[in-house]
Amino acid sequence: MTRSPLAVALVVAALLGVASPASAQILHDSPRLTGVLDESGFGVFYLRPSSLPGDDMGVLVTWKPSGLPASTRLRFGGGIGSGDSEAGFAGLDVRVPLRPAAGGSVLLAWTAGVGGSYGEWGVVSLPLGLVAGVVWSEGAVTISPWAGVGVGFDFQFGDEAPDEDFEIRPAADLGLDLSFDEARRFTVRAGLSLGDRNAVAVGVAIR
């Protein structure tokens, strides 16, 4: 039986999910919320980061200004990070669709970005990865689950930063887009990051 890239990504995601979370401030790219559907113009999400046990809730906003290339979007937000400190973050996401897998049932995309956050200490991150997903539509309903694997290159700075200034952390993401609107003007989106970049977010994306 042929294994699809999505199945392989799901297995890797499950394996990474058992890894212990790393000590870090809120990371700007977790969860990545990068599926295989065309990116919506604006999204607002409840964010629950958990890179450290002390991290608390926050808000994540994604925005795709008309002046940016089609493959890019902005993300920014804030929350309560390690040590009950207020943390803010911002970054740029890049998603480049690849050709569908054999048969066209699985869609693939490369993902990348750059960004940073600052709270009790600062982190500048360069995430890279691959996302695979499927899209099912029936009438006005569209559902698209996806899974992603990747790595984050993190530079940490500040007086309270961990001893390791530079760390490479594996990451895995699971996500779901759900729309009851044929034009997908409103899409419910949820994402979960596993492994060393633990976080969960759920909200609404608007075209």
What is the assigned CATH class of domain 5-206?
A: mainly beta
Give me the pLDDT at residue 82, please: 56
Say whether the peptide bond before residue 31 is cis (omega within 30 degrees of 0). Answer: yes
Helix (H) or strand (E) holding 11: helix 5-16
Model confidence over 96-149: pLDDT tens digits? Answer: 998 665 555 889 999 999 999 887 788 899 999 999 999 999 989 999 999 999
What tens digit of pLDDT does each residue of 67-103 get? 889 899 999 998 876 566 788 899 999 999 986 655 5
The string of pLDDT tens digits covering residues 33-63 is 999 988 778 999 999 886 545 556 789 999 9
Q: Could you tell me the residue ranges of all domains in the chain? A: 5-206
- Are 14 and 191 spatial neighbours (Cβ–Cβ below 8 Å)? no
How far is residue 60's CA from residue 78's CA, in Å, rounded to a whole number?
Answer: 7
Per DSSP, the three-state class of 22 is: coil
Q: What is the pLDDT of residue 20?
A: 33
